[in-house]
Structure 1
Amino acid sequence: MKKRVAAACLASASALAWGQSSVSLYGIVDTGIEFYNNAAKGGSFVGMPTLTGEVPSRFGLRGQEDLGGGYKAFFVLENGFAANSGALNYGGRLFGRQANLGISSDYGTLTLGRQMNMSMYVLLNADVIGPSIHSMASFDSYLPNARSDNAVGYLGKFHGVTVGGTYSFGRDAAGPAGPSATNCGGQLAGDAVGCRQYTMMLAYDSAWGGAAASYDVMYGGPGASAPLVSSADTDKRVIVDGYVKFGSGKIGGGWIRRNTAAATHAQSDLFFLGANYYLTPTVAFDAQALRYILREQSSSTLLVARANYFISKRTTLYASLGYMLNSALAANAVAAAGTVTTGANQFGAMMGIQQRF
């Protein structure tokens, strides 16, 4: 009996010590040539984008180890870079997209470190255009960069229902350059609020479609980028969206309310509605209309159309068109990281190539 118990213990210890593990290298390289007119300094722009094409370029390392009993340990290190120059994006961080580790099980996933927060997860299904050169990033550059430093996150999926949340002790330690770098590292002794952030999400997904809602609150801090320069300053976003699948396509739309309470108060609403459709397994089309209203100041409308040709499982050719209609006081550029003359309408186009590995 003692021998059998000893053998069982030895086998159990051996399984724990030699759990199945893997590490993989992955990434996307995406770039092309873009054009837009009515640039802020006059004339037109022709060149290569610095922030994104159809999606931002990146590479990463992802690893996991089976711990037994349905538990797995994992890590993700993900870099974002500008394909036109090789420069680091995300405030010059080596792993600016993600740098985290955690534990996953049937009860959900617990993640520690720099990670995507719920303001990004909530848009994944309903926003058919995503973080493209012509997208909602023209109105709110945070949305395609919704990540938090120094964060503890949870995400659980149960019979179609997804619940999640993050809490950051210091939401953004890099800065001030770049749309996702705000120089608000937080974690200051004696300041229990400065640069903190929390996000939460509730979603439901099924074979026919789904809906989701999220809430995001970030606090300012000493030395942070304007307008959140004090612990008393806040930036809040509520996102509600949904999508419906049909045949070879999908329709998605939603509403984003943003309230910034700092030296001056600002409130905005962003409405979006779009669809994608696979004409064949190798040809797909996307279209989206977005309406942005900055209360008591300005408004803009963005129309986007995109076509994809999948040469192979890894390589895609695409073309994207965008047209921005600005009110007299609006200066929202049609292209991510672009410029526009205040009050001018703007046309933008890009042809690009993307390869995944």
Structure 2
Amino acid sequence: MKLKWSAALLVAATGCTYAQSSVTLYGIVDTGVSYYNNATSSGGSMVGMPFLTGELPSRWGLKGVEDLGAGYKTFFVLESGFQPGTGLLNYGGRIFGRQANVGVNSDYGSLTLGRQMNMTMYALSNADVIGPSIHSMADFDSYLPNARSDNAVGYLGTFRGITVGGTYSFGRDAAGPAGPQATNCGGQVPGNFVACRQYTALLAYDSASFGVAASYDVMRGGTGASAPLNNSADTDTHNIVDGYVILGPTKIGAGWIRNNVASATHLQSDILFAGATYYATPSFFFDAQGVRYLQRGTAGKNASNSTLVVGRMNYLLSKRTTVYTSVGYMLNSALAANPVAAGGTVGAGMDQLGVMVGLQQKF
């Protein structure tokens, strides 16, 4: 017995000796000054610091990895989102609202447990050249830049350019109060297996010059959750098909997003987008994107259509510091009230101009 115990200790000690591990602190601080007009029905304007995001949402995080040998690694990610202007936490006040997970990675893919980005986020990451910016398609669907799932099991693997992935959440969003970053749908309710469940799936292909992706995302509601998903029979479904091509210093991306909400009142919307990034030099580049939003209510008629045009200029002062200017213009139909800036407001039926000058630092 003594011999067996000594051997076990030796094996454990040997494993600790050869295993390599690292922990990295990283983050982005991104803010500036923004302006937009027609913030009220009387046409008032707004000048100040952005509420939710700049060119990218500000965050800080810790990530670690340990090499277990034989091609296997364990990892963890703890990532917090915050507002530089106030220091407040985003994502419903969670300290690690962007990500909080642990997992195992190998040549067969990665298995992740905990709060994580789901496949809707991955599907948009290459084709959407503007990304989760202050002037972006998030103005039409606030879920898109917040596509994360609580209490989730996820898989993601890439094989010869083909990526397959999926997540399953036992309770997709455990935080409140209600809002685009916290919908108070914790799920895991005894006697109600489907309450706040969510599953997402991804199929993509990427090469050196082009790529395509498709994703499927279904969220269920729950008692006490944010409207309109306040019943476990209610669903919110996102379908995405998009792609990109790289032509020298230019990247062109385009796609289609359909959102179906099946609740007491059925709502369907479509987002069509196309954009490009052009590198004039390695440190000076431009982004531009056009987005068309079509919304249909229960009667099947167009309820509130809008068109967003965005242009952005970026200059890298160093590898970590960027200055930029973003200009967006929102054209709203008579019934639409979609703001040009994330977290902003606009009078119904009014067009809106938005401008931001920002500074971003990565570490």
Q: TM-score range by the shorter chain?
A: over 0.9
Work out which of the residue numbers 317, 338, 346 in structure 2 matches 1:332: 338
The aligned counterpart of 1:221 is 222
Structure-2 residue corresponding to 1:23: 23
4+ runs deviating over 4 angstroms: 9-13
**2:311 corresponds to which residue?**
305
CA contact (8 A) 2:171 2:188 kept: yes
Q: Secondary structure at the match of 1:89?
A: coil
Q: What is the aligned partner in structure 1 of residue 165 from structure 2?
A: 164
- Report the 3-state secondary structure (helix = DSSP H, G, I; strand = E; otherwise coil) of the residue aligned with 1:119: helix
* Structure 2 Cα separation of the partners of residues 17 and 38 of structure 1: 64
Separation of aligned partners in 2, 1:78 and 1:258: 28
> Where does 1:256-275 land on structure 2 (aligned, <5 Å)?
256-275=257-276
Q: CA deviation at 1:249?
A: 1.6
Once residues 18 and 208 of structure 1 are traced to their aligned partners in structure 2, the CA distance between those partners, rounded to angstroms, is 39
Q: Deviations over 1:82-109 (max 9, x none)?
A: 0000000011000000000000000000
User: Which letter does structure 1 place at the counterpart of 2:198?
Assistant: Q
**Aligned residue in 2 for 1:322:** 328
Q: CA deviation at 1:18?
A: 4.2
Quote how far apart the aligned CAs of 1:53 are.
0.1
User: What residue is the counterpart of 2:248 in the other structure?
Assistant: 247
How many Å separate the matches in 2 of 1:293 and 1:98? Answer: 31
Count of matched residue positions in the alignment of Structure 1 and Structure 2: 352
Is the contact made by 1:16 and 1:68 (CA closer than 8 Å) also made in structure 2? no
Residue of structure 2 equivalent to 1:3: none
Greater shift after overlay, 189-198 or 171-180?
A: 171-180
**Alpha-carbon deviation of 1:121?**
0.2
Does the 8 Å contact 1:16/1:67 carry over to 2?
Answer: no
Please report the TM-score for the alignment, with normalisation by the length of structure 1. Answer: 0.96
Once residues 40 and 176 of structure 1 are traced to their aligned partners in structure 2, the CA distance between those partners, rounded to angstroms, is 25
1:271-328 CA-to-partner distances (Å, cap 9, x unmatched) read 0000001100110000000000001312000000000000000000000000000000
* 1:182 partner letter: T
Q: How far off its partner does 1:15 sit?
A: 3.2
Question: RMSD of aligned C-alpha atoms?
Answer: 1.5
* CA distance in structure 2 between the partners assigned to 1:96 and 1:217 by the alignment: 21
Q: How does 1:1-357 map to 2 (within 5 A)?
A: 10=10, 14-16=14-16, 18-40=18-40, 42=42, 43-295=44-296, 296-357=302-363
Contact in 1 for aligned 2:24/2:62 (Cα 8 Å): yes
What CA deviation, in whole Å up to 9, does each residue of 1:27-65 have, x standing for no partner?
000000000000035410000012100000000000010
Q: What amino acid sits opposite 2:55 in the alignment?
A: E
Residues 178 and 226 of structure 2 are in contact (CA less than 8 Å); yes or no, is this contact kept in structure 1? no
Q: Distance in 2 between matches of 1:274 and 1:175?
A: 34
Cα separation, 1, equivalents of 2:212 and 2:96 = 31
* CA drift at 1:110: 0.2
Aligned partners of 2:118 and 2:167 also within 8 Å? yes
Distance (whole Å) between structure 1 residues aligned to residue 218 and residue 16 of structure 2:
40
Distance apart, 1:264 and its partner CA: 0.1
Distance 1:179 1:49 in 2: 16
Structure 1 residue 111: deviation in Å? Answer: 0.2
- Cα distance, 1:17 vs. partner? 5.2
Cα distance between partner residues in 2 of 1:208 and 1:315: 27
- Paired letter, 1:146: A
SS in 2 for 1:122: helix
1:170 alignment partner, SS class: coil
Give me the whole-angstrom Cα distance separating, in 1, the residues matched to 2:12 and 2:127.
45
Between the aligned partners of 1:70 and 1:93, the Cα distance in structure 2 is 34
Q: After superposing the two structures, state which structure 1 stretch, 13-22 or 303-312, moved more.
A: 13-22
Secondary structure at the aligned position of 1:190 is classed as coil
Instruction: Output the amino acid matched with 1:100.
Output: N
Alpha carbons of 1:85 and 1:12: their partners in 2 closer, same or farther (altered >3 Å)?
closer
Matched residue type, 2:49:
M
Deviation at 1:180, TM superposition (A): 1.5
Consecutive unaligned residues of structure 1, counting only runs of 5 or more, are 1-5
Distance 1:308 1:353 in 2: 10
The one-letter amino acid paired with 1:284 is: F
- Asked whether the 8 Å contact 1:62–1:75 carries over to 2, the reply is yes
**Any idea what the Cα deviations from partners look like across 1:201-224, whole Å, max 9, x if unmatched?**
000000111000000000000000
Q: 1:30 is matched by which residue type in structure 2?
A: D
Rounded Cα–Cα distance in structure 1 between residues aligned with 2:325 and 2:185: 37
In the TM superposition, what is the alpha-carbon distance from 1:178 to its structure 2 partner?
3.6
- Residue 327 of structure 2 aligns to a residue whose secondary structure is strand
State the distance in 1 between where 2:124 and 2:266 align: 25
Q: TM-score, normalised by structure 2?
A: 0.95
Q: Aligned partner of 2:230: which letter?
A: V
Tell me the CA shift for residue 16 of structure 1.
Answer: 4.7
Q: CA deviation at 1:236?
A: 0.3
Answer whether contact 1:174 1:185 (CA < 8 A) is retained: yes
Q: C-alpha separation between the residues in 2 aligned to 1:70 and 1:131? A: 34
